[in-house]
Structure 1
Amino acid sequence: MAKTAFLGLGVMGYPMAGHMAKAGHEVTVYNRTAAKADKWVAEYGGAAAATPREAAQGADFVMACVGNDDDLRGICTGEDGAFAGMSSGATFVDHTTVSQQVTLELAEQAAERGLGFVDAPVSGGQAGAENGQLVIMCGGDQSNYDAAEPVMQSYAKLCKRLGDSGAGQLCKMVNQICIAGLVQGLSEGLHFAEKAGLDGAAVVDVIGGGAAGSWQMVNRYQTMIADEFEHGFAVDWMRKDLDICLRTANENGASLPVTALVDQFYKDVQKLGGGRWDTSSLIKRLRAMG
């Protein structure tokens, strides 16, 4: 069991930190809104800290799951940042989906302080976090990964190192690229079924076990048919992620025509007021078109 900290108690971080506590790790939490940290402590025990630096003091591992590049820099650097509170030999594990650029930047700063750094974005959504069934894709030195992996296992069903620093974030980009195309295809299929007068659920029963089947189909078709989009990963966050994918593709020369198109479709969903709808709301756009 390890002395740990968890920074960021959103829909993902709150249950992830809870699984760490349930596994027997000593957990100190930090959240920008202190009331959320106090609520977590009341539910799971442990302690709450007023700053990332205070939360990180004495911790062997500091986990983080925040919003974007700037949020991550904010909790890592500066006088009240986690790096200032961590002792040499401790390891920082970032579960935020961010750019490879900020990952490399922070990994270098961590190394200068004698700290380990593992970029470890996750997939599985809110349900995966709550059930401790996340897939974690990691980058960083093998020794740092090996040290942190047992702690991550408290909320993971699969945890794998893909390479050096930044490899985890690059793998998460691949994940989001694949999801974008899959959800658009599923949306078009269900929309077509509706227009053709077919029972969408019956269609999925038939095709779901064949070549067209996917996690998205199994887990989202019912709510898509019911026009319900108040769960899962929000459109606003997906567009943030796809922006990272597209900018990185411009740098490495990858061609992402479908991803670029679906990103614009998500922009249309935002215009419909669906920024907080989950990503399966692409079908809402098709329905709005008639």
Structure 2
Amino acid sequence: MFYRLLLALVFLLPCSAAFAYDGNDESEEEFVDDEIDGITEFKNKFLIRFLCNYNFVSFWSSENHQRTLLSNRPVDVGLGFGYKDFYWDFLYALPFTTGTASKSVAFEIGFDFFPGNWWIEGEYRRYSGFNMNDTLTTYVDFRESDAYVSALWMATAEGRFSPRVAYFLDRKQNESAGSAIVGGRIQNTRAVDHSETLDYYEDVRNIRSIWLDGGYSYTWIYDNDMFLNLWGVAGLAVFRWDDAEDVSFMPDVVGKMAWGYIGETWSWNCVMEAEYLPMVFDDHSEQKWISAFKILVVRRF
């Protein structure tokens, strides 16, 4: 199943490349609104965003006899809109990718805002339904939802670098450049297991965390309007769950690679992303691994 889904996503690449060709001979100046330092803005400020993601979520708990829970609905499709510095996206997981996926519900909704060199993001995600890695027909009714707001500052961008170029496709970066990243987020995660597979989650658990994040990102710009971006951010959180007397700490590591094309009207990118999150509680430990392959196509108006 994984290879068929991956093949379907890769098939979209030539389609998105075709969208990227605007099919006219108008000069670039007719589309450019302003050029601030090393970043070019477009005259068309309204965007429609078409999203397709393959997400692989692996959840491991020491109280589950070292068996791994795998996500039931790995393929998300979504639609988003953007105007000037504000963006809104909604994604829903397709129900036909595994045999037990019809019992699962998965979606996410979020916004992004870019005041200056800041990237402010808010998101609500809900996921229900996993299966065991040793028997894919075993449905585990583990439900998790989380909401967070994050703020990342491009500390050394100096007007030459913006994450909007690689991940939102609404700017053109005129030369290769990078920036250090500093920021943080606040997050609340709610989880419960109705299948009695994970004893710790027989009752609803709420985990509240405050994060400090830091990292670096760099974008290479090529003459044919193509780009390549690498992104790495590590974080450390102070967290506490409902019945805990003391706070605890947990790390988080996120890595991304994005490549794509930015045209005057159509743009596209492909993103490979991975995240690792270990957690240690009083009587057990957990690990979560998230990897994704994402395709974004943008149309400017």
Structure 1 length normalisation: TM-score? Answer: 0.24
- Structure with greater proportional helix content: 1
TM-score (norm 2): 0.23
Query: Larger RCO: Structure 1 or Structure 2 (Cα < 8 Å, ≥ 6 residues apart)?
Result: 2
